[in-house]
């Protein structure tokens, strides 16, 4: 049995095409072990299958070939203990902040006091105390994303999947949200899997960074950051931060050019 928290073995994803045309080979083959409690980020050119990779781990889609395992069990459907935060606004506009967060606990077999405790803790942790009765439409994009993160937190997931969660936010907010995520990661002890197109974001947050090729996405490099666990956004001031992002870019540049060429060529 693997000691890894998440394991991918020979995973590929081909999206079937209609009308007898050959399918789109989106991903793989990919082999990867994500360690328990680690912060793993994936960067790659647009359309390389990063989000597909996340959906495979989340159980939202099945691999065409290969196996994905979480805690030693093959993922066939949405596994227990996994929470996902998406790039798009996933807050429920008809529920206030508290009810949005409490949504994840509906139908869960938990005592009401425990549900209330978890919701309260998530509200405090995400700095939403003053907005508990506010509706998402009255909040900024960053605050709404906090609501979605809080909604994931109350599930007390052992694996948190983040699909470009700060993609729609400005640079300053991204840095601050990065700090929040690092705090959460330390506080919960969960394994975090982050998909991002921002090299500096990956370099600041992750213990290891997987670099993906152009479509069909494969892992072409895995970079260890060697940052201390107790870190925050000030890590960008370090000299080796620039070296790290340079290395990531070196690995990615050629792949990004392939994608750009494909796009410009209309393929």
Partner 1 sequence: MRAVRIYQVAVIVGFVLLLEVLCLAGVIDKITMPAPHIILRDFVLMIVHRRYFSDIAITMTNVLIAFAAAFTVGVLTGTILHGYRTARDVLDPLFATYYAIPVFAFYPLFIVIFGLGDGPQLLIGFLLGVVAVIVTILNGLDRVPTVLKKTARINRLTALQTTMQVTLPFCAPYLLTAAKLALAYAFIGVIGSEFILARSGMGYEIGFAYTNFDNATMYPLILLILLMSIFANGLLSRWEKLLLARRGQH
Residues in region 181-200 near partner 1 by CB under 8 A: none
CB of 135 to partner 1, least distance (A): 5
User: Interface with partner 1 by CB under 8 A: which range of 4-12, 118-126, 136-144, 196-204?
Assistant: 136-144
145, 166 Cβ separation under 8 angstroms? yes
Q: Does 142 bind partner 1 (CB under 8 A)?
A: no
Sign of CA dihedral 188, 193, 196, 198: positive
Residue of the chain from 58, 160, 190, 205 that contacts partner 1 (CB under 8 A): 58
**Burial tier of 162 (Cβ tally within 10 Å: 0-12, 13-18, 19+):** buried
Q: How many CB atoms lie within 10 A of CB 179?
A: 15
Q: Out of 9, 35, 66, 89, which residue is the one contacting partner 1 (CB under 8 A)?
A: 89
Residue 135 is a binding residue for partner 1 (CB under 8 A): yes
Near partner 1 by CB under 8 A: residue from 86, 185, 193, 227: 86
Under 8 Å between Cβ of 194 and 228: no
Looking at the Cβ atoms of 104 and 245, the one nearer to partner 1 is 104
* Residue 62 sits in the site that holds partner 1 (CB under 8 A): no
Q: Which stretch binds partner 1 (CB under 8 A): 17-25, 79-87, 109-117, 231-239?
A: 79-87
- Reduce the DSSP state of residue 169 to 3 states and report it: coil
> Which residue stretch of 16-24, 81-89, 229-237, 254-262 sits at the interface with partner 1 (rule: CB under 8 A)?
81-89
The count of chain residues that interact with partner 1, using the rule CB under 8 A, is: 22
Does the protein bind partner 1 through residue 178 (CB under 8 A)? no
Tokens 């790039």 appear where? 87
The least distance separating partner 1 from the CB of residue 214, rounded to whole angstroms, comes to 24
Asked if 141 and 89 count as a contact pair (C-beta separation under 8 A), the reply is yes
Nearer to partner 1, 89 or 120 (CB): 89
13 CB-near residues (< 8 Å, 6+ apart): 25, 26, 27, 28, 49, 52, 56, 61, 63, 64
Separation of alpha carbons 206 and 65, rounded Å: 28
For residues 97 and 146, give the distance between their C-alpha atoms in angstroms, rounded to a whole number. 10
φ, ψ (nearest 5 deg) of residue 102: -70, -20
Question: Cβ of residue 67: shortest distance to partner 1, in angstroms?
Answer: 20
- Judged by CB under 8 A, which of 34, 82, 214, 235 binds partner 1? 82
Binding site for partner 1 (CB under 8 A): 58, 60, 78, 82-84, 86, 88-90, 92-95, 103-104, 106-107, 135-138
């Amino acid at each position: 049995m693997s000691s890894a928290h998440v394991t991918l073995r020979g995973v590929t994803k081909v999206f079937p095409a209609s009308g007898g045309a050959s399918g789109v080979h989106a991903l793989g083959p990919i082999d990867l072990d994500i360690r328990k409690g680690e912060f793993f980020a994936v960067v790659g050119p647009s359309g390389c299958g990063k989000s597909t990779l996340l959906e495979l781990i989340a159980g939202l889609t099945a691999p065409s070939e290969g196996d994905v395992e979480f805690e030693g069990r093959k993922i066939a459907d949405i596994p227990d203990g996994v929470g996902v935060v998406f790039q798009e606004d996933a807050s429920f506009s008809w529920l206030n902040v508290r009810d949005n967060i409490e949504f994840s606990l509906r139908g869960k077999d938990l005592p009401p006091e425990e549900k209330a405790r978890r919701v309260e803790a998530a509200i405090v942790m995400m700095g939403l105390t003053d907005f508990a009765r506010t509706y998402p439409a009255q909040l900024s994009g960053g605050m709404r994303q906090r609501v979605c993160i809080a909604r994931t937190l109350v599930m007390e997931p052992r694996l948190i999947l983040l699909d470009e969660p700060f993609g729609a936010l400005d640079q300053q907010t991204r840095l601050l949200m990065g700090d929040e995520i690092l705090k959460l990661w330390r506080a919960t002890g969960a394994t975090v899997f982050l998909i991002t197109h921002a090299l500096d974001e990956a370099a600041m947050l992750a213990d290891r960074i997987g670099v993906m090729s152009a479509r069909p996405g494969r892992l072409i490099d895995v970079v260890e950051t060697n940052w201390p666990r107790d870190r925050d956004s000030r890590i960008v001031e370090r000299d080796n931060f620039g070296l790290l992002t340079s290395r990531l870019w070196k690995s990615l540049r050629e792949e990004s050019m392939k994608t750009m060429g494909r796009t410009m060529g209309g393929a």
